[in-house]
Structure 1
Protein backbone atom coordinates (compact mmCIF):
# COMPACT_ATOMS: atom_id res chain seq x y z
CA UNK A 1 0.00 0.00 0.00
CA UNK A 2 1.40 3.39 -0.97
CA UNK A 3 0.69 6.09 1.60
CA UNK A 4 2.68 9.20 0.61
CA UNK A 5 2.75 10.87 4.04
CA UNK A 6 4.18 7.70 5.62
CA UNK A 7 6.98 7.61 3.07
CA UNK A 8 7.92 11.18 4.01
CA UNK A 9 7.71 10.40 7.74
CA UNK A 10 9.91 7.28 7.37
CA UNK A 11 12.50 9.17 5.33
CA UNK A 12 12.67 11.97 7.91
CA UNK A 13 12.96 9.63 10.92
CA UNK A 14 15.46 7.25 9.35
CA UNK A 15 17.95 10.08 8.91
CA UNK A 16 17.65 11.39 12.49
CA UNK A 17 20.28 10.31 15.00
CA UNK A 18 19.22 8.03 17.79
CA UNK A 19 19.11 9.51 21.30
CA UNK A 20 22.10 7.31 22.18
CA UNK A 21 24.00 8.67 19.17
CA UNK A 22 23.27 12.22 20.26
CA UNK A 23 24.43 11.35 23.79
CA UNK A 24 27.68 9.91 22.37
CA UNK A 25 28.28 13.14 20.45
CA UNK A 26 27.46 15.41 23.39
CA UNK A 27 29.11 13.48 26.23
CA UNK A 28 31.48 10.70 25.09
CA UNK A 29 32.85 10.16 28.63
CA UNK A 30 29.33 9.85 30.04
CA UNK A 31 28.41 7.41 27.27
CA UNK A 32 31.53 5.34 28.06
CA UNK A 33 30.53 5.25 31.74
CA UNK A 34 27.03 4.12 30.80
CA UNK A 35 28.41 1.31 28.63
CA UNK A 36 30.77 0.27 31.45
CA UNK A 37 27.98 -0.50 33.92
CA UNK A 38 27.43 -4.14 32.82
CA UNK A 39 25.38 -4.75 35.96
CA UNK A 40 24.36 -8.35 35.37
CA UNK A 41 27.87 -9.49 34.44
CA UNK A 42 29.37 -7.65 37.40
CA UNK A 43 26.82 -9.23 39.76
CA UNK A 44 27.46 -12.76 38.44
CA UNK A 45 31.23 -12.24 38.60
CA UNK A 46 31.04 -10.93 42.17
CA UNK A 47 28.95 -13.94 43.20
CA UNK A 48 31.69 -16.16 41.78
CA UNK A 49 34.38 -14.21 43.64
CA UNK A 50 35.75 -12.41 40.58
CA UNK A 51 36.41 -8.69 40.88
CA UNK A 52 35.92 -6.80 37.63
CA UNK A 53 38.41 -3.94 37.88
CA UNK A 54 38.43 -2.97 34.18
CA UNK A 55 41.83 -4.54 33.55
CA UNK A 56 42.92 -7.18 31.03
CA UNK A 57 43.59 -9.53 33.97
CA UNK A 58 39.89 -9.48 34.85
CA UNK A 59 39.03 -10.66 31.32
CA UNK A 60 41.12 -13.78 31.95
CA UNK A 61 39.26 -14.32 35.22
CA UNK A 62 35.93 -14.07 33.40
CA UNK A 63 37.14 -16.66 30.88
CA UNK A 64 37.57 -19.10 33.77
CA UNK A 65 34.03 -18.75 35.16
CA UNK A 66 31.76 -21.78 34.87
CA UNK A 67 29.21 -20.79 32.19
CA UNK A 68 26.08 -21.31 34.30
CA UNK A 69 24.26 -18.63 32.27
CA UNK A 70 24.06 -21.10 29.37
CA UNK A 71 21.44 -23.00 31.38
CA UNK A 72 19.16 -19.94 31.29
CA UNK A 73 18.12 -18.97 27.74
CA UNK A 74 16.75 -15.67 29.02
CA UNK A 75 19.96 -14.66 30.80
CA UNK A 76 22.39 -15.81 28.11
CA UNK A 77 21.98 -12.87 25.70
CA UNK A 78 22.14 -10.35 28.55
CA UNK A 79 25.36 -11.84 29.89
CA UNK A 80 26.77 -11.88 26.36
CA UNK A 81 25.86 -8.25 25.79
CA UNK A 82 27.37 -7.24 29.13
CA UNK A 83 30.51 -9.28 28.42
CA UNK A 84 30.96 -7.46 25.13
CA UNK A 85 30.45 -4.07 26.71
CA UNK A 86 32.89 -4.99 29.48
CA UNK A 87 35.46 -6.11 26.91
CA UNK A 88 34.98 -2.78 25.13
CA UNK A 89 35.37 -0.92 28.41
CA UNK A 90 38.67 -2.64 29.12
CA UNK A 91 39.89 -1.89 25.60
CA UNK A 92 38.92 1.79 25.79
CA UNK A 93 40.47 2.22 29.24
CA UNK A 94 43.75 0.41 28.57
CA UNK A 95 44.59 0.55 24.85
CA UNK A 96 45.94 3.95 23.74
CA UNK A 97 43.70 5.56 21.13
CA UNK A 98 40.79 3.10 21.54
CA UNK A 99 37.38 4.82 21.64
CA UNK A 100 33.73 3.90 21.62
CA UNK A 101 31.88 4.59 18.40
CA UNK A 102 28.30 3.98 17.32
CA UNK A 103 27.70 2.36 13.95
CA UNK A 104 24.82 3.74 11.88
CA UNK A 105 22.63 0.88 13.12
CA UNK A 106 23.23 2.02 16.72
CA UNK A 107 25.57 -0.85 17.66
CA UNK A 108 28.47 0.28 19.89
CA UNK A 109 31.88 -0.80 18.62
CA UNK A 110 35.43 -0.03 19.70
CA UNK A 111 37.61 1.80 17.20
CA UNK A 112 41.35 1.47 17.63
CA UNK A 113 43.86 4.19 16.78
CA UNK A 114 44.63 2.23 13.58
CA UNK A 115 41.01 2.67 12.47
CA UNK A 116 40.15 -1.00 12.91
CA UNK A 117 36.83 -1.62 14.62
CA UNK A 118 35.86 -4.44 16.96
CA UNK A 119 32.25 -5.49 17.35
CA UNK A 120 32.72 -6.24 21.02
CA UNK A 121 29.06 -7.07 21.63
CA UNK A 122 29.19 -9.82 19.00
CA UNK A 123 32.39 -11.12 20.58
CA UNK A 124 30.71 -11.09 24.01
CA UNK A 125 27.70 -12.99 22.69
CA UNK A 126 29.96 -15.60 21.06
CA UNK A 127 31.88 -15.96 24.31
CA UNK A 128 28.72 -16.34 26.39
CA UNK A 129 27.24 -18.88 23.99
CA UNK A 130 30.25 -21.04 23.15
CA UNK A 131 33.18 -19.87 25.27
CA UNK A 132 35.18 -18.92 22.19
CA UNK A 133 36.93 -16.79 21.44
CA UNK A 134 37.93 -16.05 25.01
CA UNK A 135 37.56 -12.41 26.04
CA UNK A 136 41.25 -12.23 26.92
CA UNK A 137 42.11 -13.52 23.44
CA UNK A 138 40.01 -10.83 21.74
CA UNK A 139 41.64 -8.23 23.96
CA UNK A 140 45.14 -9.49 23.08
CA UNK A 141 44.36 -9.36 19.38
CA UNK A 142 43.07 -5.81 19.62
CA UNK A 143 45.84 -4.58 21.92
CA UNK A 144 48.66 -5.78 19.67
CA UNK A 145 47.56 -3.61 16.76
Structure 2
Protein backbone atom coordinates (compact mmCIF):
# COMPACT_ATOMS: atom_id res chain seq x y z
CA UNK A 1 0.00 0.00 0.00
CA UNK A 2 1.84 3.01 -1.25
CA UNK A 3 0.70 6.25 0.33
CA UNK A 4 2.49 8.82 -1.82
CA UNK A 5 0.71 11.81 -0.31
CA UNK A 6 2.57 11.21 2.95
CA UNK A 7 5.53 12.66 1.10
CA UNK A 8 8.11 10.22 2.39
CA UNK A 9 11.12 9.59 0.22
CA UNK A 10 14.11 7.49 1.02
CA UNK A 11 16.22 10.61 1.55
CA UNK A 12 13.60 12.51 3.55
CA UNK A 13 13.00 12.28 7.28
CA UNK A 14 10.30 9.92 8.60
CA UNK A 15 6.80 11.13 9.38
CA UNK A 16 7.09 13.22 12.54
CA UNK A 17 3.45 13.40 13.50
CA UNK A 18 2.55 9.95 14.84
CA UNK A 19 -0.88 11.12 16.00
CA UNK A 20 -1.69 12.51 12.56
CA UNK A 21 -0.49 9.29 10.94
CA UNK A 22 -2.60 7.22 13.35
CA UNK A 23 -5.65 9.35 12.59
CA UNK A 24 -5.13 9.03 8.83
CA UNK A 25 -4.63 5.27 8.95
CA UNK A 26 -7.62 4.67 11.24
CA UNK A 27 -10.23 5.99 8.80
CA UNK A 28 -10.90 2.63 7.08
CA UNK A 29 -14.01 4.07 5.45
CA UNK A 30 -14.95 1.06 3.29
CA UNK A 31 -14.59 -1.43 6.13
CA UNK A 32 -16.50 0.78 8.55
CA UNK A 33 -19.28 1.18 5.98
CA UNK A 34 -19.51 -2.56 5.29
CA UNK A 35 -19.49 -3.36 9.00
CA UNK A 36 -22.13 -0.76 9.77
CA UNK A 37 -24.44 -2.18 7.09
CA UNK A 38 -24.03 -5.58 8.74
CA UNK A 39 -24.84 -4.12 12.17
CA UNK A 40 -21.28 -4.29 13.49
CA UNK A 41 -20.00 -1.27 15.42
CA UNK A 42 -16.27 -0.72 14.98
CA UNK A 43 -15.14 0.88 18.22
CA UNK A 44 -11.40 0.15 17.88
CA UNK A 45 -11.58 -2.69 20.39
CA UNK A 46 -10.43 -6.31 20.27
CA UNK A 47 -14.09 -7.34 20.54
CA UNK A 48 -14.84 -5.51 17.28
CA UNK A 49 -12.20 -7.65 15.54
CA UNK A 50 -14.08 -10.74 16.70
CA UNK A 51 -17.31 -9.26 15.31
CA UNK A 52 -15.63 -8.64 11.95
CA UNK A 53 -14.46 -12.25 11.86
CA UNK A 54 -18.12 -13.31 12.06
CA UNK A 55 -19.30 -11.29 9.04
CA UNK A 56 -20.43 -13.14 5.93
CA UNK A 57 -17.69 -12.41 3.38
CA UNK A 58 -19.91 -11.09 0.56
CA UNK A 59 -17.02 -8.92 -0.67
CA UNK A 60 -15.07 -11.96 -1.89
CA UNK A 61 -17.25 -12.04 -5.01
CA UNK A 62 -16.26 -8.49 -5.94
CA UNK A 63 -12.72 -8.36 -7.34
CA UNK A 64 -12.82 -4.57 -7.29
CA UNK A 65 -13.77 -4.26 -3.61
CA UNK A 66 -11.60 -7.09 -2.25
CA UNK A 67 -8.19 -5.33 -2.32
CA UNK A 68 -9.59 -2.11 -0.86
CA UNK A 69 -11.37 -3.98 1.89
CA UNK A 70 -8.17 -5.94 2.58
CA UNK A 71 -6.26 -2.68 3.02
CA UNK A 72 -8.93 -1.32 5.33
CA UNK A 73 -9.04 -4.54 7.37
CA UNK A 74 -5.28 -4.40 7.84
CA UNK A 75 -5.33 -0.74 8.80
CA UNK A 76 -8.18 -1.36 11.22
CA UNK A 77 -6.28 -4.26 12.81
CA UNK A 78 -3.29 -1.92 13.17
CA UNK A 79 -5.50 0.77 14.66
CA UNK A 80 -6.80 -1.62 17.32
CA UNK A 81 -3.25 -2.78 18.11
CA UNK A 82 -1.89 0.78 18.38
CA UNK A 83 -4.77 1.88 20.59
CA UNK A 84 -4.79 -1.14 22.93
CA UNK A 85 -1.29 -2.66 23.07
CA UNK A 86 1.08 -0.61 25.23
CA UNK A 87 4.04 0.76 23.28
CA UNK A 88 2.66 -0.11 19.82
CA UNK A 89 3.02 2.66 17.23
CA UNK A 90 2.48 3.18 13.51
CA UNK A 91 5.53 3.55 11.30
CA UNK A 92 6.08 3.76 7.58
CA UNK A 93 8.50 1.08 6.38
CA UNK A 94 11.33 1.79 3.92
CA UNK A 95 8.96 0.40 1.25
CA UNK A 96 6.41 3.12 2.15
CA UNK A 97 4.09 0.58 3.77
CA UNK A 98 2.34 1.21 7.08
CA UNK A 99 3.49 -1.22 9.77
CA UNK A 100 2.95 -1.47 13.49
CA UNK A 101 6.07 -1.48 15.63
CA UNK A 102 5.70 -3.10 19.02
CA UNK A 103 7.56 -1.97 22.13
CA UNK A 104 9.82 -5.03 21.67
CA UNK A 105 10.94 -3.60 18.30
CA UNK A 106 9.13 -6.25 16.28
CA UNK A 107 7.34 -4.93 13.19
CA UNK A 108 3.96 -6.27 12.20
CA UNK A 109 2.73 -6.04 8.59
CA UNK A 110 -0.96 -5.48 9.23
CA UNK A 111 -1.89 -4.74 5.61
CA UNK A 112 -0.77 -8.20 4.48
CA UNK A 113 -2.82 -9.70 7.33
CA UNK A 114 -5.83 -7.66 6.21
CA UNK A 115 -5.52 -8.89 2.63
CA UNK A 116 -5.27 -12.51 3.81
CA UNK A 117 -8.35 -12.08 5.98
CA UNK A 118 -10.39 -10.41 3.23
CA UNK A 119 -9.45 -13.07 0.67
CA UNK A 120 -9.83 -16.21 2.78
CA UNK A 121 -10.78 -15.35 6.35
CA UNK A 122 -7.60 -17.00 7.59
CA UNK A 123 -6.03 -15.98 9.83
CA UNK A 124 -8.84 -14.25 11.64
CA UNK A 125 -8.22 -10.64 12.65
CA UNK A 126 -8.88 -11.48 16.30
CA UNK A 127 -6.31 -14.28 16.10
CA UNK A 128 -3.68 -11.93 14.68
CA UNK A 129 -4.48 -9.41 17.40
CA UNK A 130 -4.09 -12.10 20.10
CA UNK A 131 -0.69 -13.09 18.67
CA UNK A 132 0.53 -9.50 18.78
CA UNK A 133 -1.00 -8.64 22.14
CA UNK A 134 0.76 -11.49 23.94
CA UNK A 135 4.25 -10.63 22.65
Normalised to the residue count of structure 1, the TM-score between the two structures is 0.85
Matched, 1:119 2:109: yes
Q: CA deviation at 1:16?
A: 3.1
Deviations 1:45-64 (A, max 9, x none): 00000000000000000000
Aligned counterpart, 2:6 = none
After TM superposition, the structure 1 = structure 2 runs for residues 103-142 of structure 1, keeping only pairs within 5 Å, are: 103-142=93-132
Partners of 1:31 and 1:99 in 2: how far apart? 10
Question: Which residue is equivalent to 2:11?
Answer: 16
Q: What 5-or-longer segments of structure 1 have no aligned partner? A: 1-13
- Higher RCO (CA 8 Å, separation ≥ 6 residues): 2
CA RMSD of aligned residues (A): 1.2
1:86 and 2:81 correspond: no
Structure 1 stretches of 4+ moved >6 Å: none
User: Deviation string for 1:90-135 (max 9, x for gaps)?
Assistant: 0000000000011101000001111111100000000000100000
Name the CA distance, whole Å, in 2 between partners of 1:76 and 1:16: 33
Give 1:15 deviation, angstroms. 3.6
Quote the residue 2:30 is aligned against: 40
**Structure number, greater radius of gyration:** 1
Equivalent-residue separation in structure 1 for 2:121 and 2:36 (angstroms): 19
Q: Distance in 1 between matches of 2:120 and 2:25?
A: 23
Question: Unpaired runs of 5+ in structure 2?
Answer: 1-8
CA distance in 1, matches of 2:78, 2:65: 20
